[in-house]
Structure formats: C-alpha cells, structure tokens
Amino acid sequence: MRIKTILYAEDEFTNRKIMEYQCERFGVECVLEADGLEALDRCRTGKYDLVVLDQYMPGLNGDEVAKELKAIRPDLPLVAITSDDGCVARLMESGFDAVYVKPLRSDDYKELLETYAK
C-alpha cells in the first residue's frame, strides 16, 4: 500500500516537529514548509494526500492558501490548525474540510491523519 504524504505548513518550529513525529507514528510521510507562499508553490507541483495549514504564516496566511488551492485542486483535502478559534468560520468559508484548534492531542493527530489523509 502506498504511504500517504501530507504537506504541513507552519512557521513555528515546535509544532512542525511535533507533526513530523506524529506522522512517523502513524506511518505517514510529512513534507514541511514554514511559509504559506512556498507551501502553495509546492502544492502546485507536488502530489499530496492531505494539506495541513497553520493560519498565520509568513508569505500567505492559511485561508489565502486554501482559497488558491480549492480553485486549482478542489479534490485535495485541506485541514487548518489554528490557535485562534475566532477565525474558524472564515477558515471553513475558505475551503477547509476541518479545523483543529491548538494544542492538539494524540487522538486529534490520529483522527486528522486517518480521516483526511485517505
């Protein structure tokens, strides 16, 4: 069975590293980016089973990346991880399939990776 690959865009090191370790636990490959614009560029050319985006990033914010991606790859699952629960409605309108609020628990990572990285 092909190993799933996710792209995770997050400018904060700790969260990137935790996601990397979680992906190892659940047998998922993880590509990391720290900038929204660079994440978008990667998505245009790369093949990912799931894209997970932080909201506030250098380059482009997560909702801006999501809008662009939904226009070019409407089938691509998108999940947001944010510490700002006040922007959830905006994130859902941008095209995200789900939003998780930080900090995530072990079960949240498991659910996210097993549900959305199909």
CB 12 within 8 A of CB 83: no
The CB-of-44 to another protein minimum distance in angstroms stands at 25
Alpha-helical regions (H) of 1-118: 13-25, 36-45, 62-72, 88-94, 106-116
In 3D, which of 107, 106, 113, 100 has the Cα closest to residue 28?
Answer: 113
Q: Residues for the chain: how many in total?
A: 118
3 near another protein, judged by CB under 8 A:
no
46 near another protein, judged by CB under 8 A:
no
102 near another protein, judged by CB under 8 A:
yes
One residue of 56, 59, 70, 73 binding another protein per CB under 8 A: 56
* Residues contributing to the site for another protein (CB under 8 A): 11-15, 17-18, 21-22, 25, 56, 58, 83, 85-86, 88-89, 91-92, 96, 98-109, 111-112
